[in-house]
Amino acid sequence: MDSVVVAGKQGNQVFTLEGADHAYRVLIESMNEGALTLSSGNMILYANQSFAKMVKCSLEQVMGSSFHRFLSTEDRARLKALLCERSGKSGVKIQAFLVAGDGSRLPAQISIRHAEKNGARATVCMVVTDMTEARRAEESLRALTHRIVQVQESERERVAFELHDNITQLLCGVVFRSQSLVEKLSASKGPSMAEAIKLREMLGKIVEEVVRISHNMGPNSLSHLGLAAALRDARTEFADRTGVAVKPVCMQLTAKLPAEIELALYRILQEALRNVEKHSNARHVTVRLRQRGAFVQLVINDDGIGFDQDRQPARRSEKGGLGLLSMRERASYVGGTLMIKSVSRAGTEIDVLIPTGKS
């Protein structure tokens, strides 16, 4: 089909597919993607067989109909706005859902480009890519990531238990023995006494560090006292250890959150504070936790050196890019989103928004 005749108020109008010689048609028809040409009124002037198969219609049913017929309701307004704006030479791409003839929905990527205007007629060229397999691959990767998170948490709990119940007890026994040694040498007040005191102090610091690591790996306050208390403990421990002031704002929630959401928010705060300690040179950090209707929001601000977000992927190994990725995966795991705003020498903001399932 090289032309379409459309009856309208101004009489019959003929739309042609210019340049549709045999070689061009063979190329278009051999594509796995759908290829379309639309009029300025979104009428389909041309479609290849691949697009017809996508929407499970015959070419006769597709040609001459409105492209909106094959779009989900939520995508029609978005596409209309894009078609109204004259996209540049490079065109635009959007993710949308196609509605097939049998009512089924197909995830697709639509590449849009305005063709040269011929007289009073303007046409739009589209390439439609079926994203079903890509979505399945994303879902499989997300499921694998979620499984890794679950295994990681189980291993952390196991190691925390081993540290608390075994290593800490052994170290405490060594501390008591060192204290006994100090008491026995107290009469001599010589070099041996001084060394014994230093040994006791070092062992005491080791015990404190092991307890801290054990607590961070499996926070008891999270399960017993709730998210707000666990975040408070994490902030206090961080401020005492690093000297960076941490200010809490709006730390109350209207109801207890599901355990997986509390854990995700706790781990995100841990990672954010770790990045502040390692990279930001910040002096102040603000932590906001609040309920926003059916969502819970955690916002972490620091006044550090920040970073250039456009260059961050290239510096991932040296500037904690994997930590940022870990935070995003944590938020995604519970259906939330994580936004990072950072400007070089102007601090960083991490904004986490997670649906709670409660209105």
pLDDT tens readout for residues 31-42: 889 999 888 788
> What would the CATH number be for the domain defined by 3-130?
3.30.450.20
> Residue 78's pLDDT is what?
80
> Residue 24's pLDDT is what?
62
Q: How far apart are CA 275 and CA 17, in angstroms?
A: 57
CATH architecture classification, 221-359: 2-Layer Sandwich (3.30)
End-to-end CA, the chain: 54
Beta bridge partners of 297: 290, 353
Q: Which two tokens stand for residue 330?
A: 């944590």
Q: Which residue has the higher pLDDT, 319 or 46?
A: 46
User: What mean pLDDT do residues 87-100 have?
Assistant: 77
pLDDT at 109 over 50: yes
- Mapping DSSP to helix (H, G, I), strand (E, B) and coil, where does residue 313 land? helix
Note the pTM of the prediction, 2 decimals: 0.58
Q: Which two tokens stand for residue 326?
A: 């870990």
pLDDT at 308 over 60: yes
Listed range (142-151, 288-297, 347-356) with the worst mean pLDDT: 142-151
Listed range (47-56, 124-133, 154-163, 290-299) with the worst mean pLDDT: 154-163
Q: For residue 142, what is the enclosing H or E element?
A: helix 132-162
Confidence of residue 314 (pLDDT cuts 50, 70, 90): very low
Q: For residue 246, what is the enclosing H or E element?
A: strand 245-249
Listed range (5-9, 94-98, 107-111, 170-174) with the worst mean pLDDT: 5-9
Q: Given the DSSP bridges, would you call strands 105-114 and 44-47 parallel, antiparallel or unpaired?
A: unpaired
CA-CA distances (angstroms) from residue 123 to 39, 40, 92, 214, 334? 5, 6, 15, 65, 43
User: What mean pLDDT do residues 125-130 have?
Assistant: 91
